[in-house]
Amino acid sequence: MSEFEAYRGLFVAESRENHENIIKNLLILEKGSDPEAIGEIFRSIHTLKGASASMGYAQLEHLCHIMEDVFQLIRNGTAAMTPELGNLLLSCSDMIEEMLDDIEAGGDSSSKNPDEYIASLKTWLDGNRGTAPAAAADKPVKTAQAGKKGGKKQAKTPAAPSAGPVTADSGDGRPLFDVRITVAGECAMKDVRAMIALNNLESLGSVVSSTPTKEQLDEGTCDGTLLVRIASDAGEEALRTAASGSEIASVEVVPAGQDLPKSGPPAPVPAAGAPAGDKNNNAPAKGPQAADKAREVKHLRVDINQLDHIMNLVEDLVINRGRLKQIADEHRIKEMDEAIGMVERSVSDLQNLMMNIRMIPLNHIFNRLPRVVRDVAQYDGKEVEFIMEGGETELDRSVMDGLNDPLLHLIRNAVNHGIEHPDVREKAGKPRKGTVKLSAHRDRDNVIIELTDDGGGINVEKIRAKAIEKGLITKEEADALSMEESIDLLFQPGFSTADKITDISGRGVGLDVVKRAIEALKGTVRVETTPGKGSSFELVLPPTMAIVDVMIVRINTKRVAIPINSIIEVANFDKAAAHQIGRNETILLREEVIQISRLDDMFGSSENCEILIVVQYQKRKCSIPVTVVEGKQEVVVKPLSGFIGNIRGISGLTILGDGDVVPVLDINTMI
């Protein structure tokens, strides 16, 4: 599915909610004036108009725009809601529904012609602009907030088109307003979010001043609060709606000259799309046939905890599927075999479906990182271009949750340690601006995340010198290390090559955290570097951690599970070919010397084992002697209990069909 099609589905789902909210509140207005309902309709139409414009649906945007103008007059008290106007607006809502149906079917709404409704609304606007309704002329006009407790009633303004005051204006007749926008504390890019809010306000009037200024926002200067003075005849509610949005904690709007409320707990910003109303509230504005039209609900918002609970139930089904299959094999009952075969297929389909539901695009993490690159580069006085690719690649939520901190460490490391200062790069014949590239893609059953930079590369000699200084190795051991083994020293706890402690680096917390976190996700870290050219960190991650394919083997009488993706081959163990090299036992297999890793401490003596399981982590191989290979099986891996703690070489436990509890080897930490 293309990226545009994914956005189309999201647009339709959110627009359905806004459409139903419009109809729900139009029916409320038929029973009498309700400022809350008017405000809800205005917000929903405004959101629907903006979304339509961003998707390029011009016809739908035009219709929403004219409906927004109508409710602008109603909200300001310049016009009143009448039964005739209610019928017209419900008919327009039905046209919006037809246009959304067309978009959902793959069209662009151009096949639906709303000109008749637009002309009718324009006729109504021409007859009501500047004329206050008789019902409103004898008493003060209420704004959308007037009916609330503590709200302020507006003075009589029979002919004023604005809800704002007429005393403080900008010189061109438009009233002035002061707006304070508070960005949510958890927002990673406060300056960008404030800039979006400022641009939205500019569409409703002329910005007289702002603190910080637009130029300062461009430079990233924003502490989370934006103060704006704007000349606009749109009214307080329209300004509040325009400035609101995701990651905006609060928006306060007051007439210029009045004091803004003191900073305190922010008032909640009204949601752009209110919860959808009851389905029975839909008005059959186009005759009885409209009431018969039913639509299937295609999108639901589900709490993630419920998905986790369903996933646990699916894991139980997988375990019991194995048990049923084992019972069927023992008793050889044909009818039972057939029934279990059908159950097995259903469980497999359910398992695959559940896995797909839990998959999340990497953009959820990637989109936070440009700000990190910008901040670190500015702190270090460096020029960095950050490139992201493959953000649409999906990972299971359980893997995604543990990936944020490792990526953050690697990004900071690439800018702080990898990219040189502009003057140094220039002397080396490089562009002053360095490049950091973050990419993701699928490779067979794994997801590969690669972070590369065109900096100075890793200084192996400096690593060895620091390791000797910290007492990790002796000088003789350092001289014998290969480049790959030297780079591995970077992942030692407390190791850092920074010459001084700063807010960014030099505290000995970094790559060791990355390695532990990635290994906890059953992934691996690969590092490649070229002096003077740059470095590359490659993270290899499983798409999911919960259900994996393993090979069940026995060592003596005890079972153990080995992940299939770590196994290279299964070979006969020729004990005569085994040799002792130093402290390690090795074997020559296919003209390659491979270390033998005996698991005697856990499973007893392996002297009688006649089979070798060859496993690999990164470019390193080792072999495990086993007694019997029982075969491949799909299992659910459960983490070790908190009472047991982490055990090196064991990633978790699984329960087989016969109830046997079997450890699952973690090849990454074992080798």
Give CA torsion, residues 143, 149, 155, 158, to 10 deg.
Answer: 30
User: Helix 304-331 to helix 334-358 angle, to the nearest 10 degrees?
Assistant: 160
Q: Are 24 and 56 in contact (CB under 8 A)?
A: no
Predicted local distance difference test score (pLDDT) of residue 439: 94
451 pLDDT higher than 90: yes
CA-based R_g, the chain, Å: 33
CA gap 65, 117 in Å, rounded: 12
CA gap 236, 416 in Å, rounded: 46
Q: Are 639 and 538 in contact (CB under 8 A)?
A: no
Percentage of the chain lying above the pLDDT 70 cut: 81
Predicted local distance difference test score (pLDDT) of residue 537: 92
Classified by CATH at the fold level, domain 306-360 comes out as Helix Hairpins (1.10.287)
The ranges assigned to domains in the chain are: 1-153, 162-258, 306-360, 362-541, 547-670
Predicted local distance difference test score (pLDDT) of residue 644: 64
Which has more confidence, 433 or 31?
Answer: 433
The CATH number that domain 162-258 falls under is: 3.30.70.1110
| Helices marked H in 105-219 | 115-128, 134-137, 190-202, 214-218
Q: Are 197 and 248 in contact (CB under 8 A)?
A: yes
Edge-first strand listing for the sheet containing 206-211: 206-211, 225-231, 176-183, 248-255
Ranking 175-184, 277-286, 547-556, 624-633 by mean pLDDT, the lowest is 277-286
Q: pLDDT tens digits, residue range 372-423?
A: 888 888 888 899 999 999 988 888 877 887 888 888 889 988 898 889 999 9
CA gap 440, 538 in Å, rounded: 10
Q: pLDDT tens digits, residue range 61-71?
A: 889 988 988 88
CA gap 539, 406 in Å, rounded: 10
CA gap 183, 161 in Å, rounded: 31
357 pLDDT higher than 70: yes
CA gap 18, 20 in Å, rounded: 6
290 — pLDDT class (breaks 50, 70, 90) = very low
Classified by CATH at the fold level, domain 1-153 comes out as Four Helix Bundle (Hemerythrin (Met), subunit A) (1.20.120)
DSSP calls for 427-450: HTT--SSEEEEEEEEEETTEEEEE
CA gap 575, 582 in Å, rounded: 18
Record the tokens describing residue 175, joined without a space.
């009233």
154 pLDDT higher than 60: no
Which has more confidence, 593 or 519?
Answer: 593
Superfamily name with CATH number, domain 547-670 = CheA-289, Domain 4 (2.40.50.180)
CA gap 224, 206 in Å, rounded: 22
Ranking 158-167, 299-308, 338-347, 608-617 by mean pLDDT, the lowest is 158-167
3-state class (DSSP) for residue 550: strand
Predicted local distance difference test score (pLDDT) of residue 552: 92
Predicted local distance difference test score (pLDDT) of residue 671: 64
Domain 362-541, CATH class in plain words: alpha beta
219 pLDDT higher than 90: no
Nearest to 670, CA basis, from 602, 609, 587, 573: 602
CA gap 64, 94 in Å, rounded: 12
3-state class (DSSP) for residue 239: helix
CA gap 49, 598 in Å, rounded: 68
Predicted local distance difference test score (pLDDT) of residue 494: 65
Nearest to 544, CA basis, from 563, 562, 568, 516: 563
Record the tokens describing residue 654, joined without a space.
């699984």
Q: pLDDT tens digits, residue range 82-141?
A: 888 888 898 898 899 889 888 888 887 777 888 888 888 888 888 876 544 433 333 333
667 pLDDT higher than 50: yes
Rounded to an integer, the average pLDDT of 336-350 is 82
Record the tokens describing residue 29, joined without a space.
């207005």
Residues in the chain: 671
Nearest to 599, CA basis, from 653, 649, 548: 649
Q: Are 43 and 17 in contact (CB under 8 A)?
A: no
User: Cα 532–534–535 angle (5° rounding)?
Assistant: 135
Ranking 153-162, 453-462, 533-542 by mean pLDDT, the lowest is 153-162
